[in-house]
Amino acid sequence: MKILVINGPNLNMLGIREKHIYGDKTYASLVKLIKGKAKEKGVKVKCYQSNYEGAIVTEIQKAYQKFDGIVINPGAYTHTSVAILDALKAVNIPTVEVHISAVNEREDFRQISFVKNFAFLTVTGKGFDGYIEAMDAIINKN
């Protein structure tokens, strides 16, 4: 089994950005956690991060018939991107949406998620553990 983990804009700034919301651990430590989990479960994982919407769309398209599951934290594109939603629908790979923070308890503009329309599960407010929960959900679904 192969899982693609996608992180969107500003998630490369974890450990620096708004630590009171996202914590003090870095993106590199998130990747390490995800890879450790994949090893433990005997699955293959690719971690991808981009600040560009089109690059994320292309990465999702490239996953067609290559990956069995997608874990995606689209960052701010969650709330704006029909293109990312359409790409997920196009490749039709089981997807879990993750947010480090409790987006439902934050600003009004964070209450809309386009990706939610396709994801079979959305995990919010669990910090880095949310990615682990998402990976487990994909592993258990297949």
Q: Which residues bind ligand DQA (CB under 6 A)?
A: 10, 73, 75-76, 78, 99-101, 103, 110
- In this complex, which beta carbon is closest to ligand DQA, that of residue 41 or of residue 125? 125
131 classed as catalytic: no
Rounded to the nearest whole angstrom, what is the least distance from the CB of residue 65 to ligand DQA in the complex?
27
- In this complex, which beta carbon is closest to ligand DQA, that of residue 93 or of residue 100? 100
Rounded to the nearest whole angstrom, what is the least distance from the CB of residue 42 to ligand DQA in the complex?
27
Rounded to the nearest whole angstrom, what is the least distance from the CB of residue 136 to ligand DQA in the complex?
18
Q: How many angstroms separate the CA atoms of 70 and 97, rounded?
A: 9
20 classed as catalytic: no
- Catalytic-role residue among 27, 77, 99, 131: 99
- In this complex, which beta carbon is closest to ligand DQA, that of residue 91 or of residue 127? 127
- Whether residue 84 contacts residue 110, with contact meaning beta carbons closer than 8 Å, is answered with no
Dihedral (Cα; 53, 29, 129, 36), 10-degree rounding: 110
